[in-house]
Amino acid sequence: MPQRNDSSEELYWIGLKSVAGVGSVTFRRLLERFDTPRAALHAAPEELARVRGMTAAGIAAIAVGAWQRQAEEECRRLEKSGARLVTFTSSDYPKSLFQISDPPPFLYVKGKIRSHEPAIAMVGSRRATRYGVQATARLAEELARHGVAVISGMARGVDTAAHRGALAGDGRTIGVLGCGIDRIYPPENRDLFDEMAERGCLVSEFPLGTLPLGENFPRRNRIISGLANGVLVVEAAEKSGSLITAQYALEQGRDVFAVPGQIGFASCRGSNRLIKQGAKLVDCVEDMLEELPGWCVPSGAVSPPPEPRVFALTPREAGVYELLARGPLHIDDIIVQTELTAAEVSSMLLHLELKGAVTPLPGAHYAACGD
């Protein structure tokens, strides 16, 4: 069964995030200092002022309780929506998101989310050609049959073909929304939304009721790539959101793949240019499978890697884990970057090692497991 946070605690998570000026980074700093959102929201103004990033307006909003009415309404809507919150301290929270810039403090989730799973994101044109739709659906189905989750953005065209292909392969597919999780967009995908909530997963970082506005989609793209081991681009124009996702993937250290498109088609110029720039050309599923860590494709047979350990984190442990998820560090660098004492960092590293979250390296270095 997926974890569900205590509903009273959800109120404080939502409330703290709703405070003006409290973005994802400041949110995590508050939890590193106060341990829980509840404690942060009841902290004295002078204590809040010591947290880097807290503004006078944010401190005043907390002091007068301006967050409470909005948070209570959001909790009521959350209950009705059938979704739940998965916070970054939860064992369910996808650990790969700690590797991206500005990971969300929590996600709104429908369906089953997993903290670790092999996954490929598939993105491309909303106005894909018949060839693009067919290629996407075939590759998604084959990935699903090999036990690889397929991630996309629930839009028309390539996204919809990717989700439907994965479901046809009896696999898991994850839809990352650019709107509130209670909004069905595009509306013709209502049946797909329902099926994915049952057999896959829908996620959003946006509050309930958020409309599918254009500015939301570039932001959600960092989560699409962040959840995946690699990103496959199918039929992308030269200036498209798919190329933004590919750029996020490169910045996050993910593999970038592309399906070659027909020359002369404007909708294929961006994806073809990615291949010229070094993206791996894909014309069969093995081209992606052989790049997944721990997978072996000697003769078409695929053996998935062993299931990693699942673990929850305290806010301070999450701060340390987030640093190491981006690359190994010396213990002295961890102490400097977390602004914690040597004893506190040593204690947290020991706890993280016992949880299977980090591993020690020679020379007093540490790395997140799987790096």
| pLDDT computed for residue 309 by the predictor | 72
Helix (H, G, I), strand (E, B) or coil at 120: strand
User: Which long-range contacts does 289-292 make (Cβ < 8 Å, 24+ apart)?
Assistant: 289/143, 289/146, 289/148, 291/229, 291/230, 291/255, 291/257, 292/118, 292/148, 292/229, 292/230
Distance CA 38, CA 110 (A): 25
Q: What number of CA atoms fall less than 13 Å from residue 239's CA on the CB side?
A: 0
Residue 306 belongs to some domain of the structure: no
Specify whether the CB–CB gap between 201 and 84 falls below 8 A. Answer: no
Residue 108 belongs to some domain of the structure: no
Cα first-last separation, the chain = 28
State the total domains in the chain. 3
- Which residues form the domain of 282? 119-289
- Whichever domain contains 333, its CATH number is 1.10.10.10
Residue 86 belongs to some domain of the structure: no
Specify whether the CB–CB gap between 172 and 201 falls below 8 A. Answer: yes
User: Which long-range contacts does 30-35 make (Cβ < 8 Å, 24+ apart)?
Assistant: 30/54, 31/89, 31/105, 31/315, 31/318, 32/315, 32/316, 32/319, 32/338, 35/314, 35/315, 35/316
Helix (H, G, I), strand (E, B) or coil at 365: strand
Task: Verify that 134 and 5 share a domain, yes or no.
Answer: no
Residue 164 belongs to some domain of the structure: yes
Angle, vertex CA 213, rays to CA 209 and CA 9, nearest 5: 35
Residue 321 belongs to some domain of the structure: yes
The pair phi, psi for residue 210, each rounded to 5°, is: -60, 130
Task: Verify that 274 and 151 share a domain, yes or no.
Answer: yes
Task: Verify that 13 and 66 share a domain, yes or no.
Answer: yes
User: How many helices and strands (H and E) does the chain possess?
Assistant: 16, 12
Residue 100 belongs to some domain of the structure: no
Distance CA 138, CA 148 (A): 14
Task: Count other C-beta atoms under 10 Å from residue 39's C-beta.
Answer: 14
Low-confidence ranges of the chain (pLDDT < 50): 1-5, 299-301
- Whichever domain contains 74, its CATH number is 1.10.150
Hey, which bits of the chain come out as E strands? 84-87, 106-111, 119-124, 149-152, 173-176, 201-204, 230-234, 255-259, 280-281, 329-330, 358-361, 365-368
**E strand or H helix at 38, and its extent?**
helix 37-41
Take residue 277 and report the two structure tokens written for it.
């720039």
| pLDDT computed for residue 96 by the predictor | 94
Distance CA 94, CA 116 (A): 6
Helix (H, G, I), strand (E, B) or coil at 106: strand
Distance CA 59, CA 64 (A): 9
